[in-house]
Every structure is written in C-alpha cells, then in structure tokens.
C-alpha cells in the first residue's frame, strides 16, 4: 500500500471501519504472511471484568471494547520486553532497558502506510498530554527502498512529530519487534519493563490512554 499524501483526519473513522469490515488490522507489505499464532483471533476476546467501586478499568475491559485494533504476540505479554538500542533521527541513542520507571510505547510504522499516518495526530496529542518522565514513545520505521531514512525524516518534519522517531534495520531488532508483519503495530511496555499489551491496527488516542491506565488483564 503506497500513498504519498497524508490521510485527512476527517477520513480516519471511515478508513478504520473499512479496516474492520475487511477483516484486516493494518498494512501488509507485498507477500508477507499473517502475523501468526501469537495473535488473538476474533473468537477469543476476553470478557469484561466486574471491578470493585473506585478501581480503574481492567485491560481486559479495554480489549473487549476495541473497534479498530486487535491483540498481538500473546506469548510475550507479561514477560520482560526484549531489549534493543536505536539511534533516532536527531542522533540520540535510546536503550529500552534504561527506560524502566516509565511507560513505553514502541510503535512500528512506515511512511507509505495510510493507517500509520492516521495514528500520527493521536500520538502527537498523547506526547503533549503525558510528560516525558512518565511516558516515552519510540516510533520505529523499518528502512527499505520505499521507506528510506530521507523519507522518514521528511515526513517527521512535515508533520511536526514531537516524539522519538528512528529509522531502523528490521533485522537489527529482536523478536517480537522484528516479527511484525502488519503495521501499525504497537508494544505497550509497563514501568517494570514487562510487555503489557501488543496491538495491531489503528489504536485511537482514547484507547492508548486507557491501555496506559488500565490494570493488567486477567488473561489474554
């Protein structure tokens, strides 16, 4: 899927509904296979939990209410997120394991991916809403002939992206990040460094906030 023009925000909801009706959660490259057995099927949606008064929502409730994304990489949830080091477009080095004590969102995206571009305004707003000391957003974009570092840099500048963007070699990352076969995909990592949730598809701002605030799921 290639489209050099950013998708207008007004079109985002319509495109998200198209994604749902088509049964696809994000863009795939060429002949890539579906994301595999670690992803949750539509038949295995966790049921909402009844919580005591005064407690925040459970993650399983957020998952049950989702509309534009699905759960991915279940086998990695609850485990320490594999460490990696990336250099962002400004030349700064980021080591995932050094970010413990704050939430981290690792999002995988590309400039040619329409759904990825739909998420950008919400990620920008999330970055404004949550201080850097509480949340780091690492947007990793796999470099290839259709998504060069120059393209990534130009897109980030044009859209005034205010979070960390890095152009990376997919092979340089460990699994599950390197196993992503459809984008946008995201990894929500808790303050203790464990993977709280992995998603595939467009995650709206309200859902991002809910995932960050939610208590861990009873099961995935």
What is the DSSP code (8-state) at residue 145? T
* Mean pLDDT per 10-residue segment, the chain (220 residues): 42 43 52 38 38 62 95 96 98 97 98 97 98 97 97 98 98 97 97 97 97 79
In a domain, 2, yes or no: no
Q: Is 220 part of a structural domain of the chain?
A: no
Contacts 24+ apart (CB under 8 A), 141-144: 141/108, 141/109, 141/110, 141/111, 141/165, 141/166, 141/167, 141/168, 142/108, 142/110, 142/168, 142/169, 142/170, 143/167, 143/168, 143/169, 143/170
Kindly state the helix (H) or strand (E) to which residue 119 belongs, with its residue range: helix 114-129
Would you state the pLDDT for residue 143? 97
Q: How far apart are CA 28 and CA 96, in angstroms?
A: 26
Cβ–Cβ under 8 Å, residues 165 and 87: no
User: Tens of pLDDT along 108-124?
Assistant: 999 999 999 999 999 99
What is the predicted pLDDT for the residue at 40? 36
Note whether residue 183 is domain-resident: yes
Query: What separation in angstroms does the CA of 152 have from each of 29, 42, 87, 106, 141?
Result: 17, 33, 14, 16, 8
Residue 87 φ/ψ, nearest 5 degrees: -110, 125
| Segment holding 59, helix H or strand E | helix 59-64
* Farthest-apart Cα atoms in the chain, separation: 53
pLDDT of residue 14: 43
Q: Which residues is 201 bridged to in the sheet?
A: 69
Number of other CB atoms surrounding residue 56 within 10 Å: 11
Bond from prior residue into 184 cis (ω within 30 degrees of 0): yes
Task: Answer yes or no: is 81 within a domain.
Answer: yes
The answer as to whether 203 is a domain residue is yes
Q: Per the domain annotation, does 4 fall within a domain? A: no
Per the structure, the complete domain to which residue 54 belongs is given by 9-213
Q: Is residue 3 part of a domain?
A: no
38-68 per-position pLDDT tens digit: 333 333 334 444 444 335 578 999 999 999 9
123: domain CATH number?
3.40.30.10
Residue 119 lies in a domain: yes
Total number of domains in the chain = 1
The predicted model scores a pTM of: 0.78
Identify the helix (H) or strand (E) that includes residue 207.
Answer: helix 205-213
Please state, in angstroms and rounded to a whole number, the distance separating the CA atoms of residues 211 and 220: 14
């Amino acid at each position: 899927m290639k489209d050099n023009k950013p998708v207008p925000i007004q079109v985002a909801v319509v495109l998200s509904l198209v994604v749902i009706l088509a049964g696809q959660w994000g863009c795939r490259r060429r002949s890539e296979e579906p994301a595999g057995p670690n992803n949750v099927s539509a038949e295995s949606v966790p049921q909402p939990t009844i919580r005591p008064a005064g407690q925040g929502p459970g993650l399983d409730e957020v998952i049950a209410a989702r509309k534009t994304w699905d759960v991915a990489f279940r086998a990695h949830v609850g485990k320490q997120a594999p460490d990696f080091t990336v250099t962002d477009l400004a030349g700064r080095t980021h080591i995932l394991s050094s970010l413990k004590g704050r939430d981290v969102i690792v999002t995988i995206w590309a400039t040619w991916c329409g759904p990825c571009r739909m998420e950008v305004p919400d990620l920008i707003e999330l970055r404004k809403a949550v201080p850097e000391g509480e949340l780091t957003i690492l947007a990793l974009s796999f470099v290839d002939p259709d998504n060069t570092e120059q393209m990534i840099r130009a897109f980030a500048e044009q859209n005034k992206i205010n979070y960390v963007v890095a152009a990376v070699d997919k092979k340089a990352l460990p699994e599950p990040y390197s196993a992503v076969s459809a984008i946008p995909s995201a990894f929500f990592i808790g303050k203790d460094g464990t993977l709280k949730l992995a998603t595939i598809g467009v995650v709206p701002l309200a859902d991002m906030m809910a995932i960050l605030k939610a208590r861990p799921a009873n099961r995935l």
